[in-house]
Structure 1
């Protein structure tokens, strides 16, 4: 049996755990959306939307903490984290295709976040797009079921990640005077935007309960070396990742960074400049496994995959990749007790030993401009693309070694209605993916590729860049114009709701507990029912 590894708990087995603040109170029944505006100085006011009127509230300070209580918390935290990690290793295998995993509701008495209750990386705790223990809302509007919304500075398409009582996002903020606009000089450049100001590359932590900014750290200031990228992209499109002790951020050409829980940079690493095809920008997010951080660097020059030590940022290994530009992110899975680091690419999908970078297997068959990341479950690896050609492959992991191209290790494939920008979703025993980036969702049997239920059009949905997500037996698909449709999973998914927010969305959603987080071009939303449900 095989499951994608939750990035946070594996690291906890290798290194001693650090104290983490208690989870936010997710059971508040307040129906008032809270609107927060960040301030670069770190001091912030809170605004409450009440009867369509915004009111200012005073700043509040955190009470002084007892050091003896803190020391006790450190000890308890380490013990509980070790126990949770051991339990999660046992939970990884019994997952079946027939139904979502049967788990207990999140505990409200333990002061250490359980990894399966978090959203520690771009595709969630299992790297599949599903939050296995969450019960988010089904409906919302700008004035209903909005716990809070916070105006974000700058612009970015990286998805939020959630751990304990914090939500983390990244952004690029233009600063300084206007300079002569500069565009990419990449061959074949088209649909790009020039850039005329220096940028601050920033990480932010927000309080999960209120949406106020806890800290805002400038990681680097620079003028982008390759223009502003594609007009639909951003200069902060990579999502951060956390192991519950540090936050790891990739800004690609502008550096790789690790931050502690207070927002201080503990190390940074310069991997050089990236030159994507057509100057269309960067976007591959990093991945974690034990004490290693993986960064993929596919571009129009010498491509590579690198593993960095999470404690120091030192390079542990690096392998060259015979690849052109791709934007997909690495994933780590485990099959029959063997961890595998998988990266999609135009010439090959490749699996590496995450400990040393040795190649385990490879398989050709995808198109150019690979954007969607792979997903894995129950003995299979799934990868798709849709640019100059359409391709989708299901690779059987039993016995996978060497070059698998054209062998029976490819369990099934398809060359129609395949994903381009959004990544596949594996939830409730069905593999879902969008047709290109259009409002058509396809559901298939993961083992055979047969339609289950096949393609169906999503009402009200236009172009989709955000990857679909799932929780509590429901599917959530958000388009770029602010519409999210919700379906109940089943033999034929049942339409539940069409929700609309007044923003543009390219980032994928994050789900944790009873909350659904959506990052738009302007706002970060925390959506929650007035009386949150508890998963049975």
Structure 2
């Protein structure tokens, strides 16, 4: 169904409360792991017509994941008045665009009804001509929005940070001075929210920085200069047994920061020339990786909490007390790894998957090629004893979790897919180049609704 320009359904209010499990608040979910809570309606198999609750057209182009608060889905996009180079899958190996995209562009935010896909509201954050180029495989809306449950924060990385009420009122904005990026890849790191501040990282080849903005007023609380040039990872707020810190990988140094932007620790991980995978935590450790395909060293690190100052001097990773384990050639290029149970899975851009022991880094199985073959940018996700991997041509592979590689199902949508899917309750939201699909096990969902236990929210129409 197409997005509508006006609300065409009655408003729906929820009587009762919405739990945190009903929200998907940032890139890869509230805990940044990509692992969803099991739900009987989460599907194993789907296609364009099977186990699809609804389909919504999304004008323009954007690679950010949808986020969800209650019954509302939020997504960003940029619509161009003139046709520009169309994105395609695969590796470009340095190819790019050296001039800003043609024509007037419209930086858009859309809100959809989670139950139906109908548009509830839309807002144009900015109108104008782009000031910086953008790699043809990227987008001027590459970042995933975030929320504190009361407000929506939408980052267009080379343009500005915009704060909305959940009803679509613009509350404040902070403009960002665009900078030149390596090969004109543009910005891509998504914002995160913690302790009433929105944290933004903007690494570029002119002046890189990380800053925090007050969630209510938009006032900049602090700003820290970063000596980095080619990093696109989303920052991770790591709540560990020692403290809460902000972990940001980088080509030159991996770093941990305090919640007011002071550097706590750093080390030169001899990272690959382009750092894209985002950090996350599991088993009390923080996982950092980078794996540009042209580099010999593509490391993965499992970090222990409590580091201070410069650690792992001269690349002595194996003897550093704050590095639990290290593998020199286990990292992907674009995707972020996933830990599910005691296993760490890596999906490589060129169509392979590996598995390592998440606790000690030992290899469980080496490279297995996906069949039919595919290339990957979206990060994997997991639920129900399976790891799911979405290829750039829209084919999702359901992989059996565990020590042996086995493809259990393949689910085609037959369209370019760059964005990482989102999961909330029994619904899987897959963003393609032009649409959002809401996949769910229709029969299981109907049974769940019929057997709703007492005390769950009741929908009432006004």
Cα distance in 1, alignment partners of residues 253 and 436 from structure 2: 36
- What is the correspondence of 1:23-38 to structure 2 with a 5 Å cutoff? 36-38=1-3
- What is the correspondence of 1:326-345 to structure 2 with a 5 Å cutoff? 326-345=231-250
Q: In the alignment, is residue 42 of structure 1 matched against residue 6 of structure 2? A: yes
Q: What does residue 381 of structure 1 align with?
A: 286
Deviation at 1:190, TM superposition (A): 3.1
Q: Per-residue displacement from partner, 1:420-446 (whole Å, max 9, x unpaired)?
A: 1001112222111123x1211111112
Q: What does residue 440 of structure 1 align with?
A: 352
Cα distance in 1, alignment partners of residues 249 and 305 from structure 2: 19
Deviation at 1:259, TM superposition (A): 0.6
Aligned to 1:206, the other structure's residue is in SS state strand
Q: In the alignment, is residue 114 of structure 1 matched against residue 19 of structure 2? A: yes
Aligned to 2:252, the other structure's residue is in SS state coil
Q: What does residue 76 of structure 1 align with?
A: none
Q: What does residue 369 of structure 1 align with?
A: 274
Cα distance in 1, alignment partners of residues 279 and 344 from structure 2: 12
Q: What does residue 209 of structure 1 align with?
A: 115
Of 217, 220, 223, 2:126 maps to 220
Deviation at 1:178, TM superposition (A): 8.1
Q: In the alignment, is residue 62 of structure 1 matched against residue 11 of structure 2? A: yes
Compared CA separation, residues 60 and 178, structure 1 to 2 (3 A): closer
Deviation at 1:274, TM superposition (A): 2.6
Aligned to 2:21, the other structure's residue is in SS state helix
- What is the correspondence of 1:272-311 to structure 2 with a 5 Å cutoff? 272-311=177-216
The normalised TM-score by structure 1 is: 0.76
Deviation at 1:399, TM superposition (A): 3.8
Aligned to 1:532, the other structure's residue is in SS state helix
Of 161, 164, 171, 2:77 maps to 171
Q: What does residue 56 of structure 2 align with?
A: 150
Q: In the alignment, is residue 409 of structure 1 matched against residue 322 of structure 2? A: yes
Larger deviation, residues 384-393 vs 419-428: 384-393
Q: What does residue 88 of structure 2 align with?
A: none
Of 300, 304, 311, 1:393 maps to 300
Q: In the alignment, is residue 242 of structure 1 matched against residue 147 of structure 2? A: yes
Q: Per-residue displacement from partner, 1:357-415 (whole Å, max 9, x unpaired)?
A: 11111121212211111121223221111224232232432441111222342232223
Deviation at 1:493, TM superposition (A): 4.4
Q: What does residue 423 of structure 2 align with?
A: 511
Cα distance in 1, alignment partners of residues 366 and 21 from structure 2: 29
Cα distance in 2, alignment partners of residues 445 and 245 from structure 1: 39
Q: Per-residue displacement from partner, 1:58-101 (whole Å, max 9, x unpaired)?
A: x44338x8xxxxxxx8xxxxxxxxxxxxxxxxxxxxxxxxxxxx
Compared CA separation, residues 330 and 246, structure 1 to 2 (3 A): same
Cα distance in 1, alignment partners of residues 193 and 373 from structure 2: 33
Aligned to 1:116, the other structure's residue is in SS state helix
Q: What does residue 488 of structure 1 align with?
A: 400
Compared CA separation, residues 193 and 153, structure 1 to 2 (3 A): farther
Given that 2:132 and 2:178 are in contact with CA atoms closer than 8 Å, whether structure 1 keeps it comes out as no
Given that 1:125 and 1:131 are in contact with CA atoms closer than 8 Å, whether structure 2 keeps it comes out as no
The normalised TM-score by structure 2 is: 0.88
Q: Per-residue displacement from partner, 1:462-498 (whole Å, max 9, x unpaired)?
A: 1100000111222110001010000231232442210
Cα distance in 2, alignment partners of residues 157 and 42 from structure 1: 24
Deviation at 1:532, TM superposition (A): 2.4
Compared CA separation, residues 504 and 468, structure 1 to 2 (3 A): same
How big is the alpha-carbon RMSD for the aligned residues of Structure 1 and Structure 2?
A: 2.1
Q: Give unmatched runs, 5+ long, in structure 1.
A: 1-35, 44-58, 66-72, 74-109, 180-187
Deviation at 1:233, TM superposition (A): 1.2
Cα distance in 1, alignment partners of residues 327 and 11 from structure 2: 55
Q: In the alignment, is residue 527 of structure 1 matched against residue 439 of structure 2? A: yes
Compared CA separation, residues 491 and 512, structure 1 to 2 (3 A): same
Q: Give unmatched runs, 5+ long, in structure 2.
A: 85-92, 449-462
Cα distance in 2, alignment partners of residues 124 and 321 from structure 1: 26
Cα distance in 2, alignment partners of residues 456 and 139 from structure 1: 21
Q: In the alignment, is residue 422 of structure 1 matched against residue 335 of structure 2? A: yes
Q: What does residue 453 of structure 2 align with?
A: none
Q: What does residue 359 of structure 1 align with?
A: 263
Deviation at 1:193, TM superposition (A): 7.2
- Report how many residues are paired: 427
Cα distance in 2, alignment partners of residues 471 and 248 from structure 1: 27
